């Protein structure tokens, strides 16, 4: 509700107060007619200030009215069509005499926003966010495929470069990294297969072949394979050795329980010409000799008996079809 600032209106009297004759120039405050004229003058908006909150101020319509907003303490003048705010500093320039710095100004009266508005980074519309505030400090527009990379002091926008055999292709919002020189093998793999080059920058999968030599033949890779040196098969009536796990076998058992013992041909692993296989026997019996029977794959003068409590040894070399005896050591190895 609007209010008049600094007025002195009077109330009506119920009856006049008798008095003597006065000069015509004297205004009697208890004369109702003169009181009405006095109050009309006092309520004249062109003479006195009126005030309210800015939202309650009436529309401009009466030239000469002065209005003071109680929520912003701003002064406006009614031109008859618009409210024009008073100019607090000359618009034509000049010298400001008062150089006192005011430290308690209400920022909301200056910018129209709460202070928290300007502490929200999302409302910033100028400047560069520094690294110390979580930014990158980069002001240049990066090219396609560029990424922020530290240079020891700041971040710069730079491209990734490929080394030997690697290509890097930048795009709009993308980076493609590829291997040059052919397509790498991406299969799940196959047992006993390796990847090899069949031509310049051409790859394929090939078998591993144990030929006893270090040469390549056809689509396979030939190499001498050195197997683990020692294996202990179970002591049973017929012993089958596995060449894929070893080439030296220790047969230990009690001849008083199981004898003879048959050494069967190797069942696992493909031998190559020149491979050597060795057997060491240990008869743990305290009173019986161990008889050894050899499969037809083993030829030559072979070990037949291992004395009670003794060690004995037999070795063979593969000639492409049979295992040929190399040496027999019998008669009680310590």
- Going by DSSP bridges, is the β-strand pair 261-263/311-318 parallel, antiparallel, or unpaired? unpaired
CATH of the domain at 294: 2.60.120
Asked if residue 15 and residue 114 are part of one domain, the reply reads: yes
Name the strands in the sheet holding 305-306, side by side, starting at the edge strand that comes first in the sequence.
238-239, 261-263, 290-294, 305-306
Does residue 171 lie in a domain region?
A: no
Tokens of 131: 């690294």
Choose the final residue of a domain: 119, 149, 178: 119
Q: Give helix then strand counts, H and E, for the chain.
A: 2, 22
Asked if residue 197 and residue 273 are part of one domain, the reply reads: no
Does residue 269 lie in a domain region?
A: yes
- The count of structural domains within the chain is 3
Residue 141, pLDDT score: 78
Residue 9, pLDDT score: 59
Secondary structure class of 150 (helix, strand, coil) = strand
Asked if residue 290 and residue 202 are part of one domain, the reply reads: no
CA distances from 197 to 72, 79, 289, 317 (A): 85, 94, 56, 33
User: Among 87-96, 132-141, 253-262, 283-292, whose mean pLDDT is lowest?
Assistant: 87-96
Asked if residue 250 and residue 281 are part of one domain, the reply reads: yes
Domain range enclosing 202: 193-222
Asked if residue 302 and residue 264 are part of one domain, the reply reads: yes
Asked if residue 243 and residue 218 are part of one domain, the reply reads: no
- The kind and range of the H/E element at 64 are none
Does residue 271 lie in a domain region?
A: yes
Q: What is the pLDDT of residues 138-163, one digit of tens each?
A: 777 788 878 888 878 788 888 888 88
Asked if residue 49 and residue 95 are part of one domain, the reply reads: yes
Residue positions counted in the chain: 334
Does residue 228 lie in a domain region?
A: no
User: Is the predicted pLDDT of residue 222 greater than 90, yes or no?
Assistant: no
Q: Binning pLDDT at 50, 70 and 90, where does residue 92 land? A: low
Asked if residue 11 and residue 67 are part of one domain, the reply reads: yes
Choose the final residue of a domain: 94, 119, 144: 119
Q: What is the pLDDT of residues 47-73, one digit of tens each?
A: 778 889 999 999 998 888 888 899 988
Asked if residue 244 and residue 209 are part of one domain, the reply reads: no
Asked if residue 210 and residue 279 are part of one domain, the reply reads: no
Asked if residue 207 and residue 261 are part of one domain, the reply reads: no
**What is the three-state SS of 94-131?**
CCCCCCCCCCCCCCHHHHCCCHHHHHCHHHCCCCCCCH
Does residue 169 lie in a domain region?
A: no
Q: Binning pLDDT at 50, 70 and 90, where does residue 12 land? A: low
* DSSP 8-state class, residue 42: H
Asked if residue 75 and residue 14 are part of one domain, the reply reads: yes
Sign of CA dihedral 140, 141, 144, 150: positive
Residue 208, pLDDT score: 57
Contacting residues for 295 by C-beta, under 8 A, at least 6 apart: 262, 263, 264, 265
Does residue 25 lie in a domain region?
A: yes
Does residue 185 lie in a domain region?
A: no
Choose the final residue of a domain: 104, 119, 134: 119
């Amino acid at each position: 509700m609007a209010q008049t600032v600094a007025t002195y209106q009077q109330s009506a009297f119920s009856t006049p107060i008798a008095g003597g004759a006065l000069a015509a120039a004297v205004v009697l405050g208890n004369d109702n007619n003169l009181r009405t004229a006095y109050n009309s003058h006092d309520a004249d908006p062109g003479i006195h200030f009126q005030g309210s909150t800015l939202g309650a101020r009436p529309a401009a319509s009466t030239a000469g009215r002065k209005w003071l907003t109680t929520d912003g303490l701003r002064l406006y003048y009614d031109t008859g069509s618009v409210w024009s705010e008073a100019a607090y500093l000359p618009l034509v320039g000049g010298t400001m005499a008062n150089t006192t710095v005011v430290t308690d100004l209400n920022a909301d009266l200056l910018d129209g926003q709460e202070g928290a508005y300007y502490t929200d980074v999302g409302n910033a519309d100028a400047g560069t966010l520094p690294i110390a505030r979580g930014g990158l400090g980069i002001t240049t527009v990066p090219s396609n495929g560029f990424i922020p990379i530290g240079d020891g002091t700041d971040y710069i926008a730079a491209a990734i470069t490929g080394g030997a055999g690697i290509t890097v292709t930048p795009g709009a919002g993308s980076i493609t990294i590829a291997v040059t020189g052919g397509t790498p093998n991406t299969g799940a793999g196959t047992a006993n297969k390796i990847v090899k080059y069949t031509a310049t920058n051409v790859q394929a999968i090939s078998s591993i072949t144990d030929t006893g030599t270090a040469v390549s033949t056809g689509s396979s890779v030939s190499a001498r394979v050195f197997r683990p040196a020692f294996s202990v098969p179970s002591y049973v009536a017929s012993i089958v050795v596995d060449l894929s796990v070893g080439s030296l076998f220790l047969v230990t058992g009690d001849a008083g329980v199981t004898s003879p013992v048959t050494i069967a041909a190797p069942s696992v692993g493909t031998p190559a010409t020149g491979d050597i296989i060795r057997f060491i026997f240990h008869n743990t019996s305290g009173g019986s000799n161990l008889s050894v029977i050899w499969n037809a794959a083993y030829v030559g003068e072979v070990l037949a008996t291992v004395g009670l409590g003794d060690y004995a040894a037999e070795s063979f070399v593969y000639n492409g079809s049979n295992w040929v005896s190399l040496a027999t050591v019998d008669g009680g190895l310590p």
